[in-house]
Chains A and B, each alone.
Chain A
Amino acid sequence: MLIQLAWKNIWRNKKRSLIILSAIAIGLTCGLFASAVMYGMWDTTIRNTIDKELGHYQLHSNEYKAENLIANYIPNGETVIDSLQMQPTTIAVSGRTIVEGIAASPTSSGGVRIIGIDPPDESKVTTLYQYMKQGAYLDTVKANTIIIGEKLAEKLNLKLNSKIVLSFQGLDESIVYSAFRIQGTFSSESSAFDETTVFVRQTDLFALLNHPIIFHEIAVRLDSDKELATIAGQNQQKFPGLKIETWRELAPELNMVNDMMSLYLNIFLGIILLALLFGITNIMLMSVLERVREFGMLMAVGMKRIKVFFLVIFEAIALSLVGGIIGIIFGSILTVIFAHVGIDLSIVSEGLSSFGVSSMLYPSLPWTIYPTLTFMIIVTAVISAILPARKAIRLKPSEAIRSF
Chain B
Amino acid sequence: MPLIELKKICKTYSETKVPVEALRDVDLEIEKGEFSAIVGPSGSGKTTALNIIGGLDDPTSGQIIVDGHDISTLKKDEMINFRLHHIGFVFQAYNLIPVFTARENVEFIMLLQKISKEEREKRAIELLTAVGLADRIDSRPSELSGGQQQRVAVARALASHPSFVLADEPTANLDSKSAISLLELMEVLNHEYGMTFVFSTHDSRVIKRAHRVITLVDGMIASDVLNTSAHEN
Interface residue ranges, A against B (CB under 8 Å): 1, 5, 8-9, 11-12, 293-294, 296-305, 307, 396-398, 401-402, 404
Do B112 and A294 touch (CB < 8 A)?
A: no
B9 to chain A, nearest CB (A): 15
Residue in A8, A297, A302, A404 whose beta carbon sits within 8 Å of that of B91 in the complex: A297
Is there contact, CB below 8 Å, between B98 and A303? no
- Known contacts A300-B54, A301-B109, A302-B160; A293 and B81 CB within 8 A of each other: no
Stretch at the interface among B37-45, B82-90, B205-213: B82-90
Tell me whether B89 and A301 are in contact (CB under 8 A): yes
Contact call B156/A301, Cβ cutoff below 8 A: yes
| Additional A-B contacts beyond A8-B99, A402-B47, A402-B92 (20; CB < 8 A) | A1-B107, A1-B108, A5-B97, A293-B93, A294-B98, A296-B95, A297-B95, A298-B97, A299-B80, A300-B83, A301-B84, A302-B83, A302-B85, A302-B112, A305-B80, A307-B112, A396-B56, A397-B56, A401-B91, A401-B95
Query: When chains A and B are docked, how far (Å) is the Cα of A302 from the Cα of B51?
Result: 14
Tell me if B97 and A294 are in contact (CB < 8 A): yes
Task: For the complex, give the distance between the alpha carbons of A404 and B54 in Å.
Answer: 21
Of B47, B76, B83, B104, which one neighbours A305 at CB under 8 angstroms? B76
Are A302 and B84 closer than 8 Å at their CB atoms? Answer: yes
Are B160 and A305 in contact (CB-based, < 8 A)?
no
Is the C-beta of B57 less than 8 angstroms from some C-beta in chain A?
yes
Q: Given A8-B100, A398-B57 in contact, is the A302-B109 Cβ separation under 8 Å?
A: yes
Which chain B residue has the least Cβ–Cβ distance from A307?
A: B112
Query: Does B74 sit at the interface, judged by CB under 8 A?
Result: no
Q: Complex Cα distance A397/B54, Å?
A: 11
Q: Does B111 reach chain A (CB closer than 8 Å)?
A: yes
- The residue on B at minimum CB distance from A298 is B97
Query: Within the assembled complex, what's the spacing in Å between the Cα atoms of A402 and B113?
Result: 25
Give the complex CA separation of A329 and B107 in angstroms. Answer: 37
- Complex Cα gap A1–B89 (Å): 21
- A-B pairs with lowest CB-CB distance, top 6: A302-B84, A8-B99, A297-B95, A398-B56, A398-B51, A398-B57
CB-defined contacts of A1 to chain B, threshold 8 Å:
104, 107-108, 111
Instruction: Name the residue among A11, A298, A404 with the largest chain B CB count within 10 angstroms.
Output: A298
| Number of B residues with CB within 8 Å of any CB on chain A | 30
- Return chain A residues, CB-CB under 8 Å to B92: 402
B217 to A: closest C-beta gap in Å: 21
Closest A residue to B92 by beta carbon equals A402
What residues of chain A lie closer than 8 Å to B81, measured between beta carbons? 302, 304
A-B residue pairs in contact (CB < 8 Å), sample of 27: A1-B104, A5-B100, A5-B108, A8-B99, A8-B100, A12-B98, A293-B93, A297-B91, A299-B80, A300-B89, A301-B83, A301-B112, A302-B80, A302-B81, A302-B84, A302-B85, A303-B84, A303-B112, A304-B77, A304-B81, A304-B112, A305-B77, A307-B112, A398-B51, A401-B93, A401-B95, A404-B93
List chain A residues, Cβ under 8 A from B76.
Answer: 305
CB distance from A217 to the nearest CB of B (A): 71
Q: Which residue of B lies closest to A306 (CB)?
A: B77
Q: Which residues of A contact B84 (CB under 8 A)?
A: 301-303
For B47, list chain A residues within 8 Å (CB).
402
Contacts of A305 in B (CB 8 A): 76-77, 80
Contacts A8-B100, A293-B95 given; indicate if A303 touches B57 (C-beta within 8 A).
no
Give the Cβ gap from A404 to chain B, nearest Cβ, in Å: 8
Q: How far is the CA of A301 from the CA of B54 in the complex (A)?
A: 10
* Min C-beta distance of A12 to chain B, whole Å: 6
- B83 touching A5, Cβ below 8 Å: no
Give residues 22-63 of B contacting A (CB, 8 Å): 47, 51, 54, 56-57
- A297 to B89: give the CA distance in the assembly, Å: 9
Contact B160 A5 (CB under 8 A): no
Q: How far apart are the CA atoms of A160 and B111 in the complex, in Å?
A: 84
**Complex alpha-carbon distance, A294 and B100, angstroms:** 12
For A5, give its contact among B51, B57, B99, B109 (CB under 8 Å).
B99
Cα distance A397–B108 when bound, in Å? Answer: 18
Q: Nearest A residue to B157 by beta-carbon distance?
A: A301
- CB of A166, distance to nearest CB on chain B (Å): 81
Q: Which residue of A lies closest to B84 (CB)?
A: A302
Question: How long is the Cα–Cα vector from A85 to B47 in the complex, in angstroms?
Answer: 92
- Nearest chain B CB to A308 CB, angstrom units: 10
* Cα distance, A296 to B95, chains bound together (Å): 9
How far apart sit A389 and B47, CA to CA, in the bound complex (Å)?
Answer: 27
CB-based contact B99/A9 at 8 Å: yes
